[in-house]
Homo-oligomer: A and B are copies of this chain.
């Protein structure tokens, strides 16, 4: 049901505990969906509800301990976790804080440092007032950062994780291939968005947490707006960017189409995007850095052209739609085999933008396209 073997979870915990020891941490305190799932396999869409906090403690030795609302006990009991402590949430007086404090006190010594992810791309998913209550409820223990341990572990995927991302990418590929069935001049863009999500589901997605895109003349204005009920017209460039989930893992890539024949500017822009992602792909080997991939793309994109304000040209991918590292000038993370990245170059064309995105796997040798590589020519609808 959790899809990974108990051995894989045990190995993840052992890697965490090894790093915790090096950093002097007596426990990790985790509060978000991917953090809990990484060590337990606990998979549910129930996180959509912001009501209840969920906690997992990774102690210095032994298996993680779940401190969760009782509504989750039956599902958590299907994972490899044995020690599951529950309270009846929501409890307006004490929503698990005392149970969590008591459990941390039991599992860690006086003076312990308890590591809670506090860096880039993290947040603590519990009420701030409860976090403050927790701090005063654990005596001479201190909640500190996790020294990037979750980031370091989650950034490098196991073979079993990669297999899931590959499956998600293949589902999206089949859906993208069918876009000509649903999109053509005259069809409203919001209807294209609905129909595309239906294609993703039909092709095997469990759900479609993310779909963005755009469609305007010769490009689009931004890539995060919801779809409008405007009909597609000749000369529009349609872009669909999906993060669909299968077995708890995302793909995240996009495709562009020209409604009717593309202008020379659009054709050139699309070809340049492919050239840029290919250039990054060619450099994407262990030892290269995230920053290098950024520059490999940016050099091509800004050669007489103008970049976009997306802020980055790609990122990690896995249990979340976007993960570390970021393909930006300032991220010098060294690539390692097992990392899954998006390459996401964007370019401005006559006041609009075009964005292209692929998903790749870093291996010991040449990288691998998880999304099917496409050619420089923008397809026509």
Q: Which A residues are closer than 8 A to B by beta carbons?
A: 1, 43-46, 48-52, 69-75, 78, 86, 88-93, 95, 116-129, 145, 190, 193-195, 197-198, 201-202, 204-212, 221-228, 243, 309-312, 315, 320-322, 326, 328, 330-331
Residues of B within 8 A of A222 (CB): 71, 74-75
Separation of A117 and B131 alpha carbons in the complex (Å): 13
Q: Is the CB of A128 within 8 A of B124?
A: yes
Instruction: Name the one of B51, B121, B227, B321 contacting A315, with C-beta atoms under 8 angstroms.
Output: B51
Name, among A69, A71, A120, the residue most crowded by chain B CB atoms within 10 Å (CB to CB).
A120
Can you list 14 residue pairs at the A/B interface with Cβ under 8 Å? A44-B225, A52-B311, A70-B311, A71-B222, A71-B310, A71-B311, A86-B309, A91-B328, A92-B330, A93-B330, A118-B127, A119-B129, A123-B124, A194-B205
Output the least CB separation between A239 and chain B (Å). 14
> Oligomeric state, in number of copies?
2
Output the least CB separation between A202 and chain B (Å). 7
Known pairs A43-B226, A51-B120 / 19 extra A-B pairs, C-beta < 8 Å: A45-B224, A48-B321, A49-B320, A49-B321, A50-B123, A51-B121, A51-B322, A70-B311, A71-B309, A86-B309, A89-B311, A90-B331, A118-B128, A120-B127, A123-B127, A193-B206, A194-B205, A194-B206, A206-B227
Instruction: Name the one of B91, B197, B326, B330 contacting A330, with C-beta atoms under 8 angstroms.
Output: B91
Separation of A93 and B93 alpha carbons in the complex (Å): 39
Output the least CB separation between A115 and chain B (Å). 11
Q: Is the CB of A320 within 8 A of B201?
A: no
Residues of B within 8 A of A117 (CB): 128
Name, among A1, A122, A243, the residue most crowded by chain B CB atoms within 10 Å (CB to CB).
A122
Separation of A116 and B119 alpha carbons in the complex (Å): 20
Q: Is the CB of A197 within 8 A of B207?
A: yes
Instruction: Name the one of B193, B223, B320 contacting A50, with C-beta atoms under 8 angstroms.
Output: B320
Q: Is the CB of A198 within 8 A of B202?
A: yes
Separation of A118 and B127 alpha carbons in the complex (Å): 5
Q: Is the CB of B48 within 8 A of A210?
A: yes
Nearest chain B residue, comparing its CB with the CB of A204: B194
Q: Is the CB of A118 within 8 A of B124?
A: no
Separation of A88 and B309 alpha carbons in the complex (Å): 7
Residues of B within 8 A of A228 (CB): 1
Residues of B within 8 A of A124 (CB): 123-124, 128
Residues of B within 8 A of A48 (CB): 209-210, 243, 321
Separation of A210 and B93 alpha carbons in the complex (Å): 28
Q: Is the CB of B193 within 8 A of A326?
A: no
